[in-house]
Amino acid sequence: MFRSLGLVLLVFGVLLSACGGGGGAAGGGAASDATSGEITVYTALEDDQIAVYLPLFNEKYPNIKVNIVRDSTGVITARLLAEKGNPQADVVWGLAASSLLLADQQQMLEPYAPAGLEKIRVNFRDSANPPHWVGIDAWFSAFCVNTVELAARGLPMPASWKDLTNPVYRGMIVMPNPNSSGTGYLSVSAILQMMGEEEGWKYLDALHENIAAYTHSGSKPCKMAGAGETVIGVSFDYRAIKQKADGQPIEPVFPTEGSGWDIEANALVKKASIKPAARTFLDWAISDEVMIKYAASYPVTSAETTVGVPEGYPPDPVRQLIANDFNWAAANRDRVLTEWMRRYDTKSEPK
């Protein structure tokens, strides 16, 4: 089943000209150097996804040692920006495009056109030539509802963002902190965009009344729901679908108003000396063999595949995505996060 994401995104008119501009040469390096050496890769991909994806690279390039530094989107973004003067990463893999927009504004990304770029949808990559970043897939908001706990308490199944403000859920919802979690930020950004900022903050005030805690990880609310530590976890699609498939008492819910979303994307970090093996990794990271693996996790990928929509998703997952303004999300990120902290940080879990 082929996916028609490109046309839908063009209708949405999203993105992604903010990075704009020309771009440096892709650079070179001896062919032998491109298949050996050691690189450091920063990523916000899930641990269980990395365990599936990375062995493919290791098998193909056994002489390249890959040091993975994995954390939540907000933590990786903050670390990347903090290291601007002395970058430690060689490659960024699977970090939110909205985060890479911030890094590119700081001139921290080296333009590079990975092999196979022509297969990537134009709305899933930076508009510069060569691009400063290239997307691989999209992830989006979903609720993880513990059906056992819900039934035991005689509660209705929520179907929408609005439902989550129902007082019957007081103290029964866990949500990611947008300051550390990309999932948290894409959900907050979606609410403010869908409702407008005035009504959006009113909604978040009402939702806050039902929140038990804000976690630093986007997957943790779903994990807590699966373990019965909360009734509802605001999380993201992959985590909800996977936990249900693993036999946990989780019902994935995709809110009727639509889901906030972001693109997981890759980039080459600008450094005084760029390792050829880093470019090899980026070539592989959009190759057919790993794109199929991305498609097994997410129904919306940056290149066409023959993989069908994974079980548990809406039949047309693209229609679930809001008309997201990525440029707005990037430009207003600091302001939104500061306001969020002022209003709601008292329920954040300790760092």
* 254 and 280 share one domain: no
Task: Please report whether residue 323 resides in a domain.
Answer: no
Angle at 180 between CA 261 and CA 53, to 5 degrees: 60
Nearest residue to 81 via CA among 62, 101, 52, 53:
101
In this structure, the strands spanning 64-70 and 173-176 are: unpaired
Task: State how many domains the chain has.
Answer: 2
CA 277 – CA 69 distance, rounded (Å): 17
CA 32 – CA 23 distance, rounded (Å): 26
Q: What's the confidence (pLDDT) of residue 69? A: 98
Task: Please report whether residue 325 resides in a domain.
Answer: no
* 309 and 297 share one domain: yes
CB contact at 8 A, 191 and 141: no
Q: What's the confidence (pLDDT) of residue 27? A: 41
CA 84 – CA 222 distance, rounded (Å): 33
Three-state DSSP at 256 gives coil
* 217 token code pair: 């990880």
* 209 and 88 share one domain: no
Q: What is the dihedral of CA 78, 82, 88, 92, to 10 degrees?
A: 30
Buried/exposed code over 200-211 (b: 16+ C-beta within 10 A; e: otherwise): bbebbeebbebb
Q: What's the confidence (pLDDT) of residue 326? A: 85
* 279 and 248 share one domain: no
Buried/exposed code over 14-41 (b: 16+ C-beta within 10 A; e: otherwise): bbbebbeeebeeeeebeeeebeebebbb
Task: Please report whether residue 242 resides in a domain.
Answer: yes
Q: What's the confidence (pLDDT) of residue 222? A: 97
Range of the domain at 92: 5-138+261-316
* 35 and 106 share one domain: yes
Task: Please report whether residue 322 resides in a domain.
Answer: no
* 226 and 337 share one domain: yes
* 234 and 171 share one domain: yes
Task: Please report whether residue 321 resides in a domain.
Answer: no
* 339 and 210 share one domain: yes
Q: What's the confidence (pLDDT) of residue 348? A: 84
Q: What's the confidence (pLDDT) of residue 347? A: 82
> Tens of pLDDT along the chain (351 residues)?
334 344 344 333 444 444 444 333 344 444 448 999 999 999 999 999 999 999 999 999 999 999 999 999 989 999 999 999 999 999 999 999 999 999 999 999 999 999 999 999 998 999 999 999 999 999 999 999 999 999 999 999 999 999 999 999 999 999 999 999 989 999 999 999 999 999 999 999 999 999 999 999 999 999 999 999 999 999 999 999 999 999 999 999 999 999 999 999 999 999 999 999 999 999 999 999 999 999 998 999 999 999 999 889 998 898 999 999 988 998 899 999 999 999 999 888 776
What pTM does this model have? 0.83
Task: Please report whether residue 54 resides in a domain.
Answer: yes
Task: Please report whether residue 63 resides in a domain.
Answer: yes
* Residue 275, H or E segment: none
Task: Please report whether residue 245 resides in a domain.
Answer: yes
Q: What's the confidence (pLDDT) of residue 20? A: 42
* 230 and 338 share one domain: yes
- The CATH number of residue 9's host domain is 3.40.190.10
* 297 and 244 share one domain: no
* 272 and 282 share one domain: yes
CA 176 – CA 349 distance, rounded (Å): 10
* 178 and 310 share one domain: no
